[in-house]
Amino acid sequence: MINLTTNKKLYSNLDKRDIFSDRLSLFLLHFAFFLKNFKSVEQKHMLQEIYDFNFRQIELSIREIGYGDQSINKKMKDYINLFHTIIGDIHFWNKLSFDEKKKIITKFLDNFNNIKDLVVYFDEFNDDLAKKTLNSYLKSVSNS
């Protein structure tokens, strides 16, 4: 997911300079689509481990930036709330119109110029996820 989030093509439409919150929002969008596509009772434990790992890594990244403990707790609460808002908004992604999808992406990535390209990108990403299994992603991580 980090490779997807750091894809330079995604940032070609950035209105302003590249900032941590834009990268994090892109990561959270990717992660939300990932969880949406692979959620099932059988995979619940594994997805919870992945969720916990990702948010621990986000916390470590915030610490590396130099925030203090009190600020980190507030930031993490904000990022977790943002993530759960994203999950709720994309839950019925396949049933949404293009304009509804544009509104969702704009809500989370308002620093980007061409939201249409991002909607197409996330449509394709969602379709790609639907064609694969969770194990195919986990294997690629463990083989890297």
Write a three-state SS string for 82-114: HHHHHHHHHCCHHHCCHHHHHHHHHHHCCCECC
Q: 79 and 54 in contact (C-beta within 8 Å)?
A: no
User: How confident is the model at residue 13, as a pLDDT?
Assistant: 66
Q: Which residues of the chain have pLDDT under 70?
A: 1-3, 6, 11, 13-18, 41, 140-144
Long-range CB contacts for residues 107-113, cutoff 8 Å, separation at least 24: 108/25, 108/28, 108/29, 108/82, 109/22, 109/25, 109/26, 109/29, 111/14, 111/15, 111/16, 111/19, 111/22, 112/13, 112/14, 112/15, 112/22, 113/13, 113/14, 113/15
Alpha carbon 63 to its chain centroid, in Å, reads: 20
Contacts of 53-56 with CB under 8 Å at 24 or more apart are 55/79, 55/80
pTM of the model: 0.85
**In this predicted model, what pLDDT tens digit does every residue of 54-67 receive, in sequence order?**
999 999 988 888 88
